[in-house]
């Protein structure tokens, strides 16, 4: 009996050890863990849009680009476009511009195949359609935000930090561009404070510089965009008590336009 008990205990112990070994295999190795943690999660560009609360709906609607942003279909460009169009969609939702929202939603859905984000974006598309039909603008805003987070989370969890960063770049660049354009229409130094996102752009630039994937770094559009983002970051760093002059605002528009154009070449 005693022998049997000992054998059983040994077996249980071996099973335990085996199970622990299996679990240990699933834990990322130190090298991988290091790589993951160096990419910084970035905040939502919604921060910048907070200034829109003081702007009339029709003025916000006018800030939505007349032409839907389009690039050649390619992984990096699609990631950038998806981020940018999400920013445009939020703007269009705040401006209650139904037709523009539909166009943006359609364009977003054409980008997702390459990025492997079809489910997330299609669900957003359906929600948007229903909410637009019901004039449910409050919830639409929330839905856009929730889905944006969902997409970001998926990219993050699938270790796709490159596309995650590029997509956020698209969002932030477009948000900065549109808000700067809006402020430029009716300048007020106080309203420029929302653009003082130095920390975010610093993290964004840091993330961009960490991208090592040969395919991405070899692309001229990408290196041009990184250079321009660095210039943009430097520009944002030159604030005066978190405010910017009218000229600086104009320059922000020019720089962000140039980044957008870089991916369209």
Partner 1 sequence: MVAIMGQSGCGKSTLTKVLSTEINPSYGQITVDGKDLYSNINYFLEHMAYVPQDDLLYPNLSVNENLWYRIRLRMPHIQQALLKQKVNNILNQVGLSHHRDTIVGEFKKKNLSGGERKRLNIALELLFEPTIIICDEPTSGLSFNDAEQIIDILTTLCQQGKIVIITIHQPNSSIYRKFDRVLMMDMGGKLAFYGNPTESFPYFDEELSQLTIRRAEIERKRQLMTSDYFYDIITYPEFTSRGDPVYEQYQKQVQQKRRFSPDYWRDKFKRKMLFELMQNESPDTGGRAAGFKRIKKRLSPRSYLVSLWSFISRSFRMKIRNNTNNLITFFEAPLLGLIISFILRFTTSGSYSYHDNSNIFIYIFVSIIAFIFLGMSNSIEEILRERKIILRERLMNLKMSSYQLSKLLILALFGLIQAILYHFIAALVLDIRGLAFYNVMYFFFASLIGNSLGLLTSAFIKENRAIINLLPLILIPQIIFGGAVIEFERMNRSLKLYEKHPVPEVVQLIPSRWLFEGLTTAYAKNTKFHRALARVQKKELTYLQNFRNATMNYDEFQTKRSELYHAKSEIAEKWDPDQIMNSYLNSAVSLMDGRVLNSDRNEFLSSYKLLGTKRHRTWTFNAMVILFYVLCLNLITWTKLKYFFKE
Contacting residue, 53, 133, 212, 241, with partner 1 by CB under 8 A:
212
> Binding to partner 1 by residue 35, rule CB under 8 A?
yes
Q: Binders of partner 1 among 92-111, rule CB under 8 A?
A: 105-106, 109-110
Q: Give the residue from 173, 187, 185, 194 showing the smallest Cα distance to 242.
A: 194
**227 lies in the site for partner 1, by CB under 8 A:** no
**Comparison of 31 and 241: residue with beta carbon closer to partner 1:** 31
Question: Which listed residue (43, 61, 116, 224) binds partner 1 by CB under 8 A?
Answer: 116
Is the Cβ of residue 88 or residue 127 nearer to partner 1 in the bound state?
127
For partner 1, the binding residue among 2, 3, 25, 37 (CB under 8 A) is 25
Determine, following the binding rule CB under 8 A, whether residue 213 of this chain makes contact with partner 1: yes
- Is residue 123 a contact point for partner 1 (CB under 8 A)? yes
Residues 52-81 that bind partner 1 (CB under 8 A): 72-76
Establish if 159 lies at the interface with partner 1 (CB under 8 A): yes
Q: How far is the CB of 242 from partner 1 (least distance, A)?
A: 38
CA distance to 3, 175, 212, per residue, from 162 (Å): 58, 20, 9
Nearer to partner 1, 27 or 66 (CB): 27
Instruction: Dig out the tokens for 59 from the structure.
Output: 């003025």
The set of residues, in sequence order, having a beta carbon less than 8 Å from that of 147 and lying 6+ positions away, is 120, 121, 123, 124, 127
Asked if 127 interacts with partner 1 (CB under 8 A), we say: yes
Which part of the chain contacts partner 1 (CB under 8 A), choosing from 8-16, 59-67, 125-133, 239-247?
Answer: 125-133
Q: Which is nearer to partner 1, 119 or 264 (CB)?
A: 119
Q: Contact with partner 1 (CB under 8 A): which of 10, 13, 50, 129?
A: 129
26 interacts with partner 1 by CB under 8 A: yes
Binding status of residue 209 toward partner 1 by CB under 8 A: no
- Binding part of the chain for partner 1, among 29-37, 41-49, 88-96, 197-205 by CB under 8 A, reads 29-37
Residue from 138, 126, 164 nearest 40 by CA: 164
For residue 78, how many other CB atoms are within 10 A of its CB? 25
Are 41 and 208 spatial neighbours (Cβ–Cβ below 8 Å)?
A: no
Residues at the interface with partner 1 (CB under 8 A): 25-29, 31-32, 35, 72-76, 105-106, 109-110, 112-114, 116, 118-119, 121-127, 129, 158-159, 212-216
């Amino acid at each position: 009996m005693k022998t049997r008990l000992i054998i059983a205990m040994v077996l249980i112990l071996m099973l335990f050890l085996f199970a622990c070994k299996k679990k240990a295999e699933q834990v990322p190795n130190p090298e991988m863990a290091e790589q993951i943690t160096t990419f910084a999660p970035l905040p939502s560009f919604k921060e910048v849009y907070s200034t829109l609360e003081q702007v009339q709906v029709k003025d916000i609607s006018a800030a939505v680009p007349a032409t839907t942003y389009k690039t050649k279909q390619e992984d990096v460009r699609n990631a950038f476009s998806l981020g940018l169009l999400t920013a445009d969609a939020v703007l269009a939702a705040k401006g209650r511009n139904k037709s523009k929202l539909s166009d943006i939603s359609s364009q977003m859905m054409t980008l997702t195949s390459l990025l492997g984000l079809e489910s997330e974006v299609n669900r957003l598309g359906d929600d948007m359609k229903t909410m637009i039909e019901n004039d449910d603008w409050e919830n639409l805003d929330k839905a856009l935000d929730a889905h944006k987070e969902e997409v970001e989370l998926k990219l993050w969890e699938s270790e796709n930090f490159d596309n995650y960063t590029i997509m956020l770049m698209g969002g932030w660049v477009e948000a900065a561009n549109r808000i700067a354009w809006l402020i430029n229409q009716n300048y007020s130094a106080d309203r420029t404070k929302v653009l003082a996102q130095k920390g975010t752009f610093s993290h964004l630039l840091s993330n961009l510089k960490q991208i090592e994937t040969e395919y991405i770094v070899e692309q001229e559009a990408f290196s041009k965009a990184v250079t321009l983002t660095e210039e943009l970051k430097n520009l944002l760093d030159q604030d005066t008590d978190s405010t910017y002059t009218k000229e600086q605002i104009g320059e922000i528009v020019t720089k962000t336009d140039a980044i957008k154009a870089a991916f369209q070449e």
